[in-house]
Structures are given as structure tokens and as C-alpha cells.
């Protein structure tokens, strides 16, 4: 049978970087092997799961191009033969109940009536005795009378799995190799909460089996859950899937990537102006590499070259500087039309270039294509073309306009440009250099006042192409308005 893999997020927030990488690797494995990539929403946290988070997961995956072959549809409904694909709905339909009944009947699960205070006391005592905070199994062998007494107190039980007390749980991980756990160090995990909702460790085993998932590819924070799930597979008489646990992602400071490192939600990176293909490229390199350490991948190359063998178990470090560099590399490969299409949402949101024809806007946006790293930077870099008045940088005025020759330069260039009929890059530069020669100045003494006068900045696009695209009337108007700012 061809591999079946799944991405199974919990809808308690936005799609984060770690989840996006997990989705990417599952999809790449499915595409490489001709398998099926399934999306399942694990919404059994009834207090924190929200419809907004579900939509954020849909939006994030679709923006990244990580479209699933089977699972819920964003517009409603689902595709696939193994639904429903929301665990809460599966619980409502009683899908988990037969397996609960089976484990209870065989003595492999039991009701636990311990209170929150009693569980906390167990943890406190374990810490004092310097041993793992393992549930001590005190409810495993309750008599019917004891159960009745707890019920009379109004206690609602949870359902726990009866973990073996001795022996080991061993499995082969495709990334970490053979893993072995002492059963005496494991614990009787909760299968069903007092509310009647199944827990993660229980529901994912049932669903992975019923959905015929062959490979479970997920973050290595789940390694500690795997022996618990492995024992549940064994108790139900099922063959476990093949496990592959992806390496941890660290922040630049060497600690686990989290909100304190800045943006962690995929949509935040979208707002910053990251390209989805660049972000996927970068995420693929967090814990995976080709034999030749390739960095940039053309369309289709990741799907072609990805193998689980290339995944590393050592933690990967998330480097925002490298991500921005990679995004810039992708931007530079765009045609001017492609660049404008990608930049338009950011320009429109900033109100930049409104009412300007596409060809003009395309030329202006393309002026600094070699410098862009983020699409969200573009409006601020080109907005001076469209503002009615120049917003002068005080430092630029101090540095350039307070030099004694500035007023003379602007006046001379105003006269030359007013007489210029061919207002294009070549003639504009020729007139500026001729002016420098006539006045006995260096070229920079002409160029710098020109740039600041028309843009208000000391840095920007190629000067004379910038003047050409700005147009004769606007350039002359700005040279005239800038003159009073120059030192007498």
C-alpha cells in the first residue's frame, strides 16, 4: 500500500512555524512516494479549540501551497473516505466508544476518581523523593463499593490506560533510530477526560489506525508520547505505524522557538512580506538537507529531492536573517510583472500608487528589485514618487542641503532640466555631469542635492532613472520647493 501520512494540528491558535514544517514534510513525503497527505483537525481541547483557529490553519496551509488531498474543506464538507476529519465530531458520533468498551472489558483501562488536589499531592511527593511525577495507579483496583462512594461525592472519573509495570517499549524511529523506554517510568495516561472528550494520546491512535495512516511524521516533542501510544496499539492488537520525529527548532539564542523570538505564526510572516515559496524552501532546511547542502530550490525540486533519510535528529536553528536573505533571492528571480503582482496587496494596503497606471507602477516598483528582501518594505521605499509633498529626512537636509554649494546646484539643475526636451535617464545624467564640470564640482556634489530634493532621502533607486520615472514637471517642482531648505 502506498504511504498515507497526516498533518493533525490542534486548533488552539494560528498555524506556527513548527506546525508548518511538519505539514510540509508530510506533504513532501506523500508527493515523493505517490502517497496521500491527510489533514485531520484534533479539536478535543474543548476549552481552547476555536473556529477562528481552524480557519487560520486552513488559510496558512493554503497560502503556503500545502494543499491536502484528503480531509475537511475550508468551504465546508470534506473529501476522503475516512471522515469525519474533526476529532470532536468523531467523538460525537461515538467512533471511539467501541474501543473504550473493549479496553475496559479486557481490564486494560480503568476509571480514575482522583481529584486535582490528590494528583497535585502525588506530583509534590514525587518531586520531594526525586522521582518522575508518575501517576501511582491507586484507582486501578477499586472495588464497586469504593467507586459508588466516589460517585456519591459527585466525583466524575477520567478513564486511564493501564500501562505495563515492567519490561520495555521499543520502536524504530526513521530519524532517531532505535528508541527504548522502561515501562516502569511511563504512566497510566488519561484516555478520556471527565467531560467525555478523548485525549490526544488516545484519539490519535484510534484515528491513525482507522484512517490507515502508515507513517506518523511529527515533531520530536512527541517522542515521549510515542511509547504510550505504542502500548495502546499493542493493547488493541494493531500494528503501529512507522514513526519519524522531526528535530526541534531552536531560536537564535539556542532555546526552543517561541513567541519571545518574535513572529512564530505563519500569517505574521505573510504580513511581513515573506513569499510562501521562500518560506517553504527555508522550512525544508530546518532539520533536512540534500547530500550537497543545496540552499535554493526551483519549483518541483523539493518534491523531487526530499527523503526522510536526509532528516537530522540534531536541533535546527531558526535564523530570521537567512530567511530574509532567501526571500530576497526569490524576489530577484521575478519578472517585473510578477513582482508587481506580489507587491500590489502591500501597496494597496499602504495607499501607495493609487490611481497610477500599471506600466508606470511596474517600472517604479522594479527600480530597486535587487535590494528588496520583504514585500512589505516596498511601499515605504517607493512612496515618495506619489506623495504631493516631499517628506524630508532631517539628517539628509543637515548632511546635504547645509553645504554651501547646495542652493547653487539646485538652481543650476533646475535651469538645465527645464530646457531638456528628452527627459530620460541618459540625457539627465549627461546634464548633471556637465553642470558639475561647469561649476568645478565633483559629480557627487551635484548628484546628492538632486536626490534629496526629489526624494527627501540620501539613499534610493538609480538616480537618473528615478528622475525619468518621476517626470519632468514633478522633478522641476521639487527642485524649486527644496531650494529654501538650503543653507544661504
Q: Is 259 a catalytic residue?
A: yes
Strand partners of residue 317: 250
Active-site position among 79, 151, 259, 322: 259
Q: How far apart are CA 306 and CA 290, in angstroms?
A: 8
Sign of CA dihedral 409, 413, 416, 418: negative
Strand 316-317 relative to strand 249-250: parallel, antiparallel, unpaired?
parallel
> What single string gives the DSSP state of each residue in 304-352?
HH--GGGB-SSPEE--HHHHHHHHHHHHHTS-HHHHHHHHHHHHHHHT-
SS3 112: strand
Is 469:460 a contact under the CB 8 Å cutoff? no
Q: How far apart are CA 215 and CA 6, in angstroms?
A: 8
The phi and psi torsions of 297 (rounded to 5 degrees) equal -120, 130
Max CA separation in the chain (angstroms): 108
SS3 182: strand
Q: How far is CA 198 from CA 225, 283, 412, in A?
A: 15, 32, 80
Active site residues: 259
Amino acid at each position: 500500500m502506498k504511504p498515507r501520512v497526516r498533518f493533525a494540528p490542534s486548533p488552539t491558535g494560528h498555524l506556527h512555524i513548527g506546525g508548518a514544517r511538519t505539514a510540509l514534510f508530510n506533504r513532501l513525503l506523500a508527493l515523493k512516494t505517490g502517497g496521500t497527505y491527510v489533514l485531520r483537525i484534533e479539536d478535543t481541547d474543548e476549552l481552547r479549540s476555536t473556529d477562528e483557529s481552524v480557519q487560520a490553519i486552513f488559510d496558512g496551509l493554503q497560502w503556503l501551497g500545502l494543499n491536502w488531498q484528503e480531509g475537511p474543506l475550508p468551504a465546508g464538507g470534506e473529501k476522503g473516505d475516512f471522515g469525519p476529519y474533526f476529532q470532536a465530531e468523531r467523538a460525537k458520533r461515538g467512533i471511539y466508544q467501541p474501543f473504550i468498551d473493549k479496553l475496559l472489558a479486557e481490564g486494560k483501562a480503568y476509571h480514575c476518581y482522583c481529584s486535582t488536589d490528590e494528583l497535585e499531592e502525588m506530583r509534590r511527593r514525587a518531586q520531594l523523593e526525586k522521582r518522575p511525577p508518575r501517576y501511582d495507579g491507586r484507582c486501578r483496583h477499586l472495588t464497586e463499593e469504593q467507586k459508588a462512594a466516589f460517585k456519591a461525592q459527585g466525583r466524575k472519573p477520567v478513564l486511564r490506560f493501564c500501562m505495563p509495570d515492567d519490561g520495555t517499549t521499543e520502536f524504530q524511529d526513521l530519524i532517531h533510530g532505535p528508541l527504548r523506554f522502561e515501562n516502569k517510568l511511563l504512566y497510566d495516561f488519561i484516555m478520556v477526560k471527565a467531560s467525555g472528550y478523548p485525549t490526544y494520546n488516545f484519539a490519535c491512535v484510534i484515528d491513525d489506525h482507522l484512517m490507515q495512516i502508515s507513517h506518523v511524521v511529527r515533531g520530536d516533542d512527541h517522542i515521549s508520547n510515542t511509547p504510550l501510544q505504542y502500548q495502546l496499539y499493542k493493547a488493541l492488537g494493531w500494528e503501529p505505524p512507522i514513526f519519524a520525529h522531526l528535530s526541534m527548532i531552536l531560536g537564535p539564542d539556542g532555546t526552543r522557538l517561541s513567541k519571545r523570538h518574535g513572529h512564530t505564526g505563519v500569517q505574521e510572516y505573510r504580513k511581513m512580506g515573506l513569499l510562501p515559496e521562500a518560506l517553504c524552501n527555508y522550512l525544508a532546511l530546518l532539520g533536512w538537507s540534500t547530500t550537497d547542502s543545496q540552499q535554493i530550490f526551483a519549483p518541483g525540486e523539493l518534491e523531487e529531492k526530499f527523503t526522510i533519510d536526509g532528516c537530522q535528529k540534531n536541533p535546527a536553528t531558526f535564523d530570521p536573517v537567512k530567511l530574509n536573505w532567501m526571500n530576497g533571492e526569490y524576489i530577484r528571480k521575478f519578472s517585473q510583472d510578477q513582482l508587481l503582482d506580489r507587491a500590489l496587496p502591500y501597496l494597496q494596503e499602504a495607499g501607495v500608487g493609487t490611481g497610477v497606471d500599471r506600466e508606470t507602477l511596474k517600472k517604479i516598483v522594479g527600480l530597486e528589485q535587487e535590494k528588496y528582501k520583504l514585500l512589505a518594505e516596498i511601499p515605504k521605499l517607493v512612496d515618495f514618487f506619489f506623495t504631493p509633498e516631499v517628506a524630508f529626512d532631517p539628517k539628509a537636509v543637515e548632511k546635504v542641503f547645509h553645504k554651501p554649494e547646495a542652493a547653487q546646484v539646485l538652481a543650476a539643475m533646475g535651469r538645465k532640466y527645464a530646457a531638456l526636451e528628452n527627459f530620460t535617464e541618459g540625457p539627465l545624467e549627461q546634464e548633471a555631469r556637465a553642470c558639475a564640470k561647469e561649476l568645478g564640482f565633483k559629480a557627487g556634489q551635484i548628484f546628492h542635492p538632486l536626490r534629496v530634493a526629489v526624494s527627501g532621502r540620501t539613499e534610493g533607486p538609480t538616480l537618473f532613472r528615478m528622475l525619468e520615472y518621476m517626470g519632468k514637471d514633478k522633478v522641476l517642482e521639487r527642485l524649486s520647493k527644496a531650494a529654501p531648505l538650503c543653507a544661504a
